[in-house]
Chain A
């Protein structure tokens, strides 16, 4: 394992890979800084470029973007009180007051340090767990793989915003999208309407571009034309002294731990972990007291920002070992793996170990580059906050359209992307998450293939899905999540009889407002 990682690190130290990761990280910072645009959108925009790149270089670029957006999101939170990414919403609680108090450079400095620390510890976790889990997962049989896929989809449905029913509806739509075209086992056309463009299935690039690119553009048109006034023009990053950073170790270690663990749970991603870590750090804090949070204390930046970046390592663990993404960005990376002819899942490590180690090495390098850019060149990225989105969206639309076109060199996938974009926009507006649809579409073929193969091996005995302990545990997890949702629904029904509880003060309002602003 160490040998593979060292080889990947040695290969990445060449000028070309470093340039690719630097470009990705810088782009990530840029995109992350713009409210409304986050890493899934940035990765989608660059999709047509990655088609022509070597597989590893394409993933190094995506990893750079993924890591960079995590820090970039905090710039807008701190200077505008409008989170650049959903995960950075929590940072605004203390980052913005600190900037208002005349310390914007210090706030950004704490954000840079915490992001780097979180990112590096997240990387360590990924490096430690990926080879181990991959070696265990390698002994899986078709029934295990099918159950892991189903459990992943149920987990995602349970943890996305809204409710599990909405999540499962999204997953089933994705599974139906994946069913279009030739069935892999019998070679029968399904849902093709005798259209040759649908015979080979719906273009995966079109699904990604539609749900993650065009949906976001359509949703974010509300933000066009809004002027952005920064809280301060003194924008030079002022890194905290090491002693100031280390004496607040509790804040960033709790944040990092939450980031790694929550990041590894499919579907939760960084959004959940930042709020959890912030609440934990605030409730346990003695100096500063919990009441001081929200007024501009460094701990209020360290906890969410370390957590935010630690998720980059956490989300890689299920993605690289089981083929289950932790968030929207890793879902796109899984899709990109399919587009590059790879089979994401338990065999990825066995079949493409250099790629897996290359991705892990890229996370480390991207975090180091992110620190260097954040330290020395934040000012340039912050200036984009003043730019009007009207200039950007037309170009995003071209990139997204060409991303769909270039997959098959045909316009049909562009139309499919438009349909997916419109459908995604309406579904998002009604509280459904498009991540669930994409995950259903990614995991659908894997689940179907392995369910049928598992049943074929067992001569049609469905007990094959419960005949070992790991399978029993997986089935129990699925059942538990569903039962929990039913109980929650019944409790909620009881609450409807009582008068609605008043919202808990201005802080709850502020949190709701920030979560809503950062949702996109």
Chain B
């Protein structure tokens, strides 16, 4: 399968996902089973979201039709020039794609760790993991960067900006850092 065809197939896959969003716009609007009688202007709370969903489905249909037309032209050996404007150039390598997946895993793990373990523990771990994911191989330097960077960020967010970022489950660091921070007289 040549690159041009592969790109169009990816476009069609995206169109399918967007169509699902449009259909979801009709199906999931009323989770509480509320009444939908019209208000003073004749519209209800679901009129405009329904219009948005309908228009989205229509436009996604156009997008899919245009992509199929491109595929038809490619098959006939003609130049496919999308009806929907110039196509972007797509770049990316295997290395950066695997980094993307690893970055996402780190992000989700960080979000999951923030509440139970607190900012003070989760952040240096994330920084260390991300430095490794992004290809820095000096472990000692990465560790120092993660710990010092994490500490500076803690001072900024928790010390100065007073964001409530203490862990719920296991966070021995935040009370210790709070005490140290109080001893400096900054609080």
Q: How far is the CB of B99 from chain A (nearest CB, A)?
A: 5
Q: A183-B45, A452-B41 are in contact. Are A176 and B21 (CB under 8 A)?
A: yes
Q: Mark A148-187, 1 if CB is under 8 A from B, else 0.
A: 0000000000000111111011001101100100010110
Q: Which of chain B's residues have a CB closer than 8 A to the CB of A458? A: 41
Give the interface centre of B34, B63, B119, B134 by most chain A CB atoms within 10 Å: B134
Q: How far, in angstroms, from A403 to B55 measured CA to CA in the complex?
A: 32
Q: Does A288 contact B (CB under 8 A)?
A: no
In this complex, what residue of A is CB-closest to B153?
A398
Q: Which of chain B's residues have a CB closer than 8 A to the CB of A429? A: 88, 90, 92
Contact for A166 among B32, B43, B55, B63, CB less than 8 A:
B63
Q: Which of chain B's residues have a CB closer than 8 A to the CB of A468? A: none
Give residues 80-117 of B contacting A (CB, 8 Å). Answer: 80-93, 96, 99-100, 103-104, 106-108, 110-112, 114-115
Q: Does B140 contact A (CB under 8 A)?
A: no
Contact for B29 among A190, A222, A492, CB less than 8 A:
A190
Pair B73/A496 contact, Cβ less than 8 Å: yes
Q: How far, in angstroms, from A218 to B130 measured CA to CA in the complex?
A: 13
Q: Does B123 contact A (CB under 8 A)?
A: yes
Q: Does B42 contact A (CB under 8 A)?
A: yes
Pair B55/A172 contact, Cβ less than 8 Å: yes
Q: Which of chain A's residues have a CB closer than 8 A to the CB of B45? A: 183, 185-186, 188, 190
Pair B32/A415 contact, Cβ less than 8 Å: no
Q: How far, in angstroms, from A460 to B131 measured CA to CA in the complex?
A: 59
Pair A455/B42 contact, Cβ less than 8 Å: yes
Q: Mark A46-89, 1 if CB is under 8 A from B, else 0.
A: 00110110000000000000000000000000000000000000
Contact for A397 among B93, B115, B130, B156, CB less than 8 A:
B130
Interface residues of A, CB < 8 Å — how many?
A: 82
Q: Does A418 contact B (CB under 8 A)?
A: yes
Q: How far, in angstroms, from A456 to B89 measured CA to CA in the complex?
A: 47
Main secondary structure on A side of the interface with B: helix
Tell me the total A-B contact number using a CB cutoff of 8 A. 228
In this complex, what residue of B is CB-closest to A495?
B81
Q: How far, in angstroms, from A52 to B163 measured CA to CA in the complex?
A: 9
Pair B145/A391 contact, Cβ less than 8 Å: yes
Q: How far, in angstroms, from A457 to B62 measured CA to CA in the complex?
A: 36
Pair A493/B32 contact, Cβ less than 8 Å: no
Pair A172/B59 contact, Cβ less than 8 Å: yes
Pair B157/A402 contact, Cβ less than 8 Å: yes
Pair B88/A52 contact, Cβ less than 8 Å: no
Q: Does A338 contact B (CB under 8 A)?
A: no
Q: Which of chain A's residues have a CB closer than 8 A to the CB of B36? A: 188
Give the interface centre of B29, B55, B123 by most chain A CB atoms within 10 Å: B29
Contact for A165 among B62, B149, B161, CB less than 8 A:
B62
Q: Which of chain B's residues have a CB closer than 8 A to the CB of A430? A: 10-11, 14, 88
Q: How far, in angstroms, from A397 to B126 measured CA to CA in the complex?
A: 9
Q: How far is the CB of B90 from chain A (nearest CB, A)?
A: 6
Give residues 379-436 of A contacting B (CB, 8 Å). Answer: 388-391, 393-395, 397-398, 401-402, 405-406, 409, 411, 414-415, 418, 421-422, 425-427, 429-431
Q: Does A189 contact B (CB under 8 A)?
A: yes
Q: Does A346 contact B (CB under 8 A)?
A: no
Give residues 190-214 of A contacting B (CB, 8 Å). Answer: 190-194, 214
Q: Which of chain A's residues have a CB closer than 8 A to the CB of B25? A: 176, 191
Pair A452/B79 contact, Cβ less than 8 Å: no
Q: Mark B46-63, 1 if CB is under 8 A from A, else 0.
A: 101100110110011011
Q: How far is the CB of B175 from chain A (nearest CB, A)?
A: 19
Contact for A224 among B48, B96, B114, B153, CB less than 8 A:
B96
Q: Does B135 contact A (CB under 8 A)?
A: yes
Pair B79/A499 contact, Cβ less than 8 Å: yes
Q: How far is the CB of A19 from chain B (nearest CB, A)?
A: 15
Q: How far, in angstroms, from A425 to B14 measured CA to CA in the complex?
A: 12
The 4 closest A-B pairs by CB, nearest first: A455-B41, A163-B85, A460-B42, A394-B130
Interface residues of A (CB under 8 A from B): 48-49, 51-52, 161-166, 168-169, 172-173, 175-176, 179, 183, 185-186, 188-194, 214, 217-218, 221-222, 224-225, 388-391, 393-395, 397-398, 401-402, 405-406, 409, 411, 414-415, 418, 421-422, 425-427, 429-431, 447-448, 451-460, 489, 492-493, 495-497, 499-500, 516, 519
Q: Can you give 15 contacting A-B residue pairs, CB < 8 Å?
A: A48-B157, A186-B44, A222-B93, A393-B130, A394-B131, A395-B127, A415-B111, A426-B14, A431-B88, A452-B39, A452-B41, A452-B48, A455-B41, A489-B66, A495-B81
Q: A48-B161, A224-B96 are in contact. List 15 more A-B contacts (CB 8 A).
A: A165-B84, A168-B59, A176-B21, A176-B56, A221-B99, A390-B136, A397-B110, A409-B164, A429-B88, A447-B48, A453-B41, A456-B39, A456-B41, A489-B83, A492-B82
